Amino acid sequence: MKLLLTSGGVTNPSIRSALVELLGKPIEAATALYIPTAQYGHPMCTPDVTLRATAGPQSMTALGWKSVGLFELTALPSMQGERWIPWVQAADALLVDGGDATYLAHWIRRSGLQSLFPRLERTVWVGVSAGSMVMTPRIGEEFEQWTPPSPGEGTLGLVDFSIFPHLDYPTFPENTLAHAERWAEHIDGPAYAIDDQTAIRVVGEDVDLISEGHWKRLE
């Protein structure tokens, strides 16, 4: 998969251009599946928050896709793979919203979606907050809100860096650069602190930052 890992979504023209480049076509010609699953694992996410994230004017579903569908991972274990796997393989993009990254990782594994990853070479994974953090090797205890049934289950580790999202977000006083630097002290490996105007693009071994805001690499 090609990854566009954001803090706040497709929030500016630079991130939108990066998405179009990864898709290889205009958004208006592309299809997407929207995954809200992470919301259910986070105490700050209530049903009205989930609805706004799913269908509000600032949602990733409102970018002008040719078609976009709701894809709930917690439902997949009750379905046959032959029913839902073609939906994933046909989508140009998976839009993975925020919430709790550990909860999301658990359902990516349990649903069987992770087993499809090697077959999704052309698919673009567009993560928001936890939807981006889930791809990292670790998130740190500051972001651990949900306890998995199997100790140490953790996130997916598809990239080799960690992400501190929502840098300097107005209503998150704990998301300052100073907090990010303290967080990074016990994160094993490199990390990025990114604000909501920044995205990390990953294609194969290539990693670059797209930003109209500010970010910092933390060691």
Structure confidence by residue, pLDDT tens digits, 49-102 = 888 888 888 899 999 999 999 999 999 999 999 999 999 999 999 999 999 999
Contact of 215 with 209, CB cutoff 8 Å: yes
What whole-number distance in Å separates Cα of residue 192 and Cα of residue 70?
30
Confidence of residue 145 (pLDDT cuts 50, 70, 90): confident
Q: Return the CA Rg of the chain.
A: 16
Task: Give the pLDDT mean for 29-58.
Answer: 90
Question: Thinking of the domain 2-218, which architecture would CATH place it in?
Answer: 3-Layer(aba) Sandwich (3.40)
**What's the pLDDT at 46?**
87
pLDDT computed for residue 74 by the predictor: 97
- As a whole number, mean pLDDT of residues 32-56 equals 89
Per-residue pLDDT for 150 more than 90? no
What's the confidence (pLDDT) of residue 151? 81
Residue 149: its pLDDT value, please?
87
Task: Note the pTM of the prediction, 2 decimals.
Answer: 0.95
Average pLDDT, the chain: 95
For residues 206-214, average pLDDT: 97
